Amino acid sequence: MNTTPQTKKHPNKSNVAVSLRTREEIFRIVNSMNAEEHRGRLVKADDVVSVALTRLTSADMKKILDATLTNEDRLELKYKKFCETNGPISKDEFLGKLLGKSLYDDEI
């Protein structure tokens, strides 16, 4: 993971790139928690993110990874799975099988 190098001023902190929408959501949560009456120090973004990370499941991680796949990646995965199940064929033959099938047939 690429993060900004740690600074001398804050040796245990680093910057992480997130979208503006994600940043706004984190700070919306932090601000709403800090607006409540409570004793103790103010809640920090790190507190929220740390707890959220402990709740991340393997299904969540698979969903995130699947969202990063391009159509070409998905095609390659289907091709490899088909070859494992049915024996090796050329990619051109595989594309022919895909295109020759009905759009509503979900066999491959």
The torsion angles phi and psi of 55, rounded to 5 degrees, stand at -90, -5
First-to-last alpha carbon distance for the chain, in angstroms, is 35
Which pLDDT does position 21 carry in this prediction?
A: 97
Q: Where are the domains of the chain?
A: 20-55, 71-100
Which pLDDT does position 24 carry in this prediction?
A: 97
* pLDDT at position 2 over 60: no
* pLDDT at position 4 over 70: no
* pLDDT at position 103 over 60: no
Q: CA dist 79 to 41, 46, 70, 87, 92, Å?
A: 55, 42, 14, 11, 10
pLDDT per residue as tens digits for the range 59-100: 999 999 999 999 999 999 999 999 999 999 999 999 988 888
Which pLDDT does position 13 carry in this prediction?
A: 86
